[in-house]
Amino acid sequence: MLTFVARRLLTAAITILVVVFLAGVLIHLVPGDPITAMLAQSGNASAVDIARLTEQYGLDKPVWQQALLYVGNVLQGDLGTTIRGNEPVAPLLLGRLPNTIILAVAGLGTALALGIPMGVIAAVNRGRAADFAVMLIAILGVSIPGFWMGLTFIQFFSLHLGWFPVAGTSARNIVLPALTLGIVHSALVARMTRSALVDILNEDYIRTARAKGLRESEVLMVHAMRPAMISIITVVGLVFAHLLGGQVITENVFSWNGIGRLAIQAMLQRDYPLVQGFIVIFATSIVLVTTALDLLYGLLDPRVRRR
Amino acid sequence: MTRLTLSALIFGATALTALPLAAQTTLTVARSVDADGLDPQKVSTTQSSQVTDLIFDTLVTLDASGAPHPGLAEAWEISEDNLTYSFTIREGVLCHDGSAFGPEDVVFTLDRAVAPETMNPRLSQYGPIKSVTAEGNVVTVKMTEPYGPFLSYLGSFSIPMICRSAVAVDGSFTPIGTGPFTLVEWSRNDHITLKANEGYQGYSPLIENKGRPYIDELKLVVIPEAVARMAALRSGEVDLAEPSLEEAAILESEPGFKVYSADLSGQQVMAAFTWKLAPFDNPEVRRAIGMALDRDAYAMIAYEGLVSPTTCPAAPGLIGVDQAKCAEWGTRYDPDAARAIMEGLGYTPANPLKIKLSVHALPGFDQMHQMMQQHLAEIGVEAELETREVAAFFDHMAQENMRTEGTPVLWTMGYSGVDSDYMTVMWQRPGFVNMGVGEELDTMLADQRMLTGDARVAKLQEVQQYILENTYAVPLVSPGWNWLWASTDKIEDFKTGFVASIIFNDVKIAE
């Protein structure tokens, strides 16, 4: 088990390091110059100032040199300073990360609360009207764009009914963005739950359990749901990782003060250090979540440890 | 008598308790983006300076015509050779932390602004400062060469005065100024809370209330989505918001709301040419294209009548800008004459000149560019529209303006400033995104910086005449971006100042 854990952690560390280097290189392939864009918006884009700031921010160096320098700084815990406002990147992102995690957890909770019952209902009623109805709802959840759903919720729940504030980052504000994220991601949870349960409900041991006279609810909740959990945990991990970086649009619509909003602004402004910092934090979160899942599989299923 | 006094006291006490306590007035404003920072010597965006402008005051102030008036400096003198400025600093002004503002703070501000380690993005606006010294309550600024726009920039949010206590020994910055509002809290990307500076004394000719602002608290919240901002305004969650162009047009005719358009924005939108590329190297072709563009229609239709057509290469209201003179020097909408010129050069709608119309996205721009395409097609010019986001667009145009071969490009852009000197940044070689023209114009632009008063006005007009008569640019509309505000009709006397600054000194919230 110890070797298994060490191997997974080493892989995670190497992956993060490669991502940091690639982030340093790839960001420069996107067209656009952050200094010209910044000074054009300040009404002071003189050639002298552009050249001076380009040099001061080290943007005149070759891309590979900038990328290596960035990796070195990140290894020392320094994510650099923003081009806009000249502020340290790390506290800026880490200060907002809790808000993003809170929204991700709330979105995930909503997705599970909606998705698992939907998946169970569909699996138990396989091939019947209830199955089709649940899967239709799931497809709609995936198909409706999150930003449209969010704006519709604002119009209805905030403007029409006055139940929730339109914007902000507080306990009252979390309901609508969590619901939006939850509905969008519940579809995946529902489909995965259904698929896992349908397979398991056809297994011989389930037939045996029914033949022994166990109640259907007991068969379902004890004998079927437990083995289905490994598939559901996979989805939970993926959805959570996706929510950490993929809720950018929802944060923007509901003015939720997470790192996603900061990232959008940084990308539009080509604020390289801030975008790179976002990639580092996002990639690290994904790697940590997937590594934790790997370790969890290892605990749940000894066959995984032996691979 | 005793009974009477007692009765009066009881009556007075009862009356006092019956009066409601004066309610704290908070004005909530929704903006699309937050400030990048609150250190005015490190920020670059208008949205950042809109906030720092509320916290920090300026040495001089500007009236609606751009003329300088006293601010933190109660008087000033300029030496005959235009190299030395002597500012008499007002006494009795207090910083937000209670310390006295004085000449040392001015010296500190200017020294810090030009120090390389500050990495000030607006450094060149400070001009060629040689030294800043204080003696008594007089601050002397010496220049290495004359710098005409110095007073204009000193009156803008580009060069505010910071108190020495703002910068700690370890270099950390706290926004401490002498402005109408003090910082209470900043939750980045979420909200900024400011409160009225109780001892404020204002000097700007643009404000009527020279004392403490009427409102107690000002909360600037960030709501990035235009639809959500408008929902917040309509639900009463915010009092004032940046509307989209479409929403502004709707709100203007709706009872219960007011729409504000910045008159002193210093902003201007124009079309320019990659003039090194044939046939744009021919002034006649540029002239024909200028005559095909209908700026009145763009203002009325694309911008819903919320902007004005403009004829000068610098924005209305800035020094040396005379719309009537510019109209004589530049092109007027005359599609028949434009078509005749193009036909003479062999281009017709059946055999068009193929160009690119390169643009970036901004509210109002899309519809204007579609109209421009139609207008150009009518005179035998087929324009392929290319839209980029802002950061990529300017980088792209810097390369396009260097090319000497290939498809010619007509491009649109906006620029803003508090002084017509921004034409120097744009047009003096290499110029903004390499749009510089040549030696003759470079010399005129350098000369205007050496002058003051009427002589400078004359030189600035010479510059504009040169640009327009050679049709290097076709001015279109003003203002162009970040210039619209909408409020509920409870809000009274909200104003905008130079370069789309926002003024809350006179604002009252009606019951």
**pLDDT tens string for chain A (307 positions)?**
778 788 888 888 888 888 888 887 887 777 777 888 777 766 666 778 888 888 888 888 888 888 888 888 888 888 888 888 778 899 989 888 899 999 999 999 999 999 999 999 999 998 899 999 988 988 888 888 888 999 999 999 999 999 999 988 888 899 999 999 999 899 889 988 998 898 888 888 888 888 888 888 888 888 888 888 878 888 888 888 888 876 888 998 999 999 888 888 888 778 888 988 988 888 888 888 888 887 877 776 666 665 5
Interface of A with B in 54-83 (CB under 8 A): 56, 82
What is the residue whose two structure tokens read 């208008």? B46
Question: How distant is the Cα of B257 from the closest Cα of chain A, in angstroms?
Answer: 16
CA distance A139 to B458: 69
Those residues whose C-beta lies under 8 Å from the C-beta of residue B252, and which sit 6 or more positions away, are: B259, B306
CA distance A197 to A123: 6
Q: Render pLDDT for B219-247 as a digit per residue (tens, 0 to 9).
A: 999 999 999 999 999 999 999 999 988 89
**Residue B432 to residue A255, Cβ atoms within 8 A:** no
What is the residue whose two structure tokens read 């060469």? B145
Give the single-character DSSP code of A156: I
Distance of CA A80 to the CA centre of its chain: 24
Contacts of B114 in chain A (CB under 8 A): none
φ/ψ (deg, to 5) at A73: -65, -40
Q: What is the dihedral of CA B386, B389, B390, B396, to 10 degrees?
A: -50
**Residue A158 to residue B231, Cβ atoms within 8 A:** yes
Q: Render pLDDT for B374-424 as a digit per residue (tens, 0 to 9).
A: 999 999 999 999 999 887 898 899 999 999 999 999 999 988 889 999 999
Using a cut of 0.90, tell me whether the model's pTM lies above it: no
What is the residue whose two structure tokens read 């949010």? B157
Whether residue A112 contacts residue A178, with contact meaning beta carbons closer than 8 Å, is answered with: no
Those residues whose C-beta lies under 8 Å from the C-beta of residue B222, and which sit 6 or more positions away, are: A255, B30, B31, B32, B33, B34, B189, B190, B191
Half-sphere exposure at residue A81, Cβ-oriented, CA atoms within 13 angstroms? 13
Q: In what order do the strands lie in the sheet with B217-222?
A: B181-187, B191-196, B217-222, B26-31, B240-241, B484-488, B257-261
The dihedral sign for the CA sequence B289, B292, B295, B301 = negative
pLDDT of residue B222: 93
Interface of A with B in 20-49 (CB under 8 A): 30-34, 36-49
Those residues whose C-beta lies under 8 Å from the C-beta of residue B232, and which sit 6 or more positions away, are: A166, A167, B30, B223, B238, B241
- Helix H, strand E, coil C: the string for B308-359 is EECCCCCCCCCCCCCHHHHHHHCCCCCHHHHHHHHHHCCCCCCCCEEEEEEE
Structure tokens at B213: 């602002």
**Residue A33 to residue B398, Cβ atoms within 8 A:** yes
Contacts of A169 in chain B (CB under 8 A): 187, 190
Contacts of A53 in chain B (CB under 8 A): 119, 121
Whether residue B87 contacts residue B110, with contact meaning beta carbons closer than 8 Å, is answered with: no
Question: How distant is the Cα of B3 from the closest Cα of chain A, in angstroms?
Answer: 55
**Residue B121 to residue A168, Cβ atoms within 8 A:** no
Give the helix ranges, DSSP H, for chain A: 2-26, 34-42, 47-56, 63-75, 89-124, 129-143, 146-153, 175-201, 204-211, 216-218, 225-246, 248-253, 259-269, 272-300, 302-306
CA distance B191 to B247: 23
Among the partner-chain residues B190, B228, B431, the one whose CB lies closest to the CB of A169 is: B190
Give the single-character DSSP code of B199: T
CA distance B184 to B439: 51
Residue B10 clears pLDDT 70, i.e. is over it: no
Strands (E), B32-82: 60-62, 68-70, 73-78
**Residue A255 to residue B43, Cβ atoms within 8 A:** no
Contacts of B431 in chain A (CB under 8 A): 47
CA distance B149 to A19: 48
Neighbours of B255 (CB within 10 A): 6
pLDDT of residue B24: 77
CA-CA distances (angstroms) from residue A168 to A252, A300, B294? 10, 40, 43
Helical pair B439-450 and B453-469, crossing angle rounded to 10 deg = 160
Neighbours of B291 (CB within 10 A): 25
Give A302 or B15, the one with higher predicted confidence: A302
Q: What is the dihedral of CA B147, B152, B157, B160, to 10 degrees?
A: 60
Strands B267-273 and B473-478: antiparallel
CB pairs under 8 A between A and B: 163
CA distance B177 to B160: 9
Give B70 or A26, the one with higher predicted confidence: B70
Whether residue B469 contacts residue B244, with contact meaning beta carbons closer than 8 Å, is answered with: no
Among the partner-chain residues B125, B235, B431, the one whose CB lies closest to the CB of A158 is: B235
Q: Render pLDDT for B469-489 as a digit per residue (tens, 0 to 9).
A: 999 999 999 987 768 999 999
Residue B475 β-bridge partners: B270
Q: Which amino acid is at B6?
A: L
